[in-house]
Amino acid sequence: MKSQHRSILSLFKFRKVIIPVIIGFGVASYLLYRNFDKETFLQINWVWQSYFWIFLSIILMGVRDISYMYRIRLLTDKELSWRKSFDVIMLWEFASSVTPSVVGGSVVALFIINKEGINMGKSTAIVLITSLLDEMFYIIMVPLVFIFVGTQNLFFTNAEFALFNTNFGIKGIFLIGYLFILVLTSIIVYGVFINPRGFKWILLKIFKLPILRKWREKAGKTGDEIIVTSKEMKGKSFVFWMKAYFATLFSWTARFWVVNCIILAFISVNDHFLIYARQLIMWVILLISPTPGSSGVAEFIFSDFLGEFILPGLSPALAIIWRIISYYPYLFIGAIILPYWIRRVYFKRKLIRFKS
């Protein structure tokens, strides 16, 4: 257990913070050098509306974080205070920012929540249900986007991405990602809400195959986690789940509208829902990014996906502003509160042991 704690805490070292910063600014600087149009930049009028939309984009990031804090308090039955919820969410985002997007920060989140005094079973349930709610938002929003926007406006580029040693277009990557999310969510729903013990039995049978046998013990632990999650969450009311889902809806919508506000600060646009829809497609690409916090990849696809809504030559500059508002703050806030959090959770535990 101690070695696991040390390996998790090692994610918060300085070099883990500086690597995504270097990658992100490196790619953004290259894009600026290659595409920046000085004349277009000089034509921008910095009026009060520009500052207003930038300020609103920062407020929306606050709405996103408050929604996440509300959700974590709801899922813990308010065992976490608002202050502790703030620490958990900031450190969770920090962990997600310094690990590859394909890995994510869920393991670290489990560790952080448990250290806040939530038992391991409930911590597991909270992390799993949080992921489920995020996936449910995506599964529901994508069909709505297709209805209102249409696929021809979403899959507009010939850019290709390598996956499983094969090149896929945007449409192919999206379909693979969406189907994966749909299957994974269906499995979790079946395991948590329908038949948790049957789910564990199926897992153990599958991992009894010779090619998978070495992971059978981990599969068994996953089955146990699903059973624990089911016990924790199965009796929750309809109102509880509506509150949790709408908190998720608010957080993701606020996150996506940040981009709309940044663009509005410099250019008048009308296709706001299309910009929102493009970000749903972008999210699948970012989900499989091998770089910490999608650094470099995010800056590149911002220009590729949203360039048509922006004045020529300004896309790299707006991509930097977007990341400065929506990504880099978590690196620095997490680094600032981490030492305080470590002293609080570890000193409190030592103090309790001393008194007992």
147 strand-pairing partners: none
- pLDDT of 36 higher than 70: no
Which pTM does this prediction carry?
Answer: 0.81
Q: Summarize pLDDT for 322-334 with one digit per residue, the tens.
A: 888 888 888 888 8
Q: Are 244 and 75 in contact (CB under 8 A)?
A: yes
Residue among 323, 283, 281, 278 nearest 299 (CA): 323
Query: Residues 63-90: what's their mean pLDDT?
Result: 93
- What is residue 291's three-state secondary structure? coil
Q: What is the pLDDT of residue 162?
A: 59
Q: Summarize pLDDT for 190-239 with one digit per residue, the tens.
A: 888 888 888 888 878 877 777 767 777 877 877 787 888 788 777 788 89
Query: Residues 342-346: what's their mean pLDDT?
Result: 77
Q: Are 244 and 74 in contact (CB under 8 A)?
A: yes
Tell me the pLDDT band of 250, cut-offs 50, 70 and 90: very high
Tell me the pLDDT band of 1, cut-offs 50, 70 and 90: very low
Residue among 105, 64, 95, 68 nearest 259 (CA): 64
Q: Summarize pLDDT for 302-323 with one digit per residue, the tens.
A: 877 787 887 767 777 788 888 8
Cα Rg of the chain, angstroms: 22
Dist. CA 155–CA 9, nearest whole Å: 40
The DSSP symbol for 321 reads H
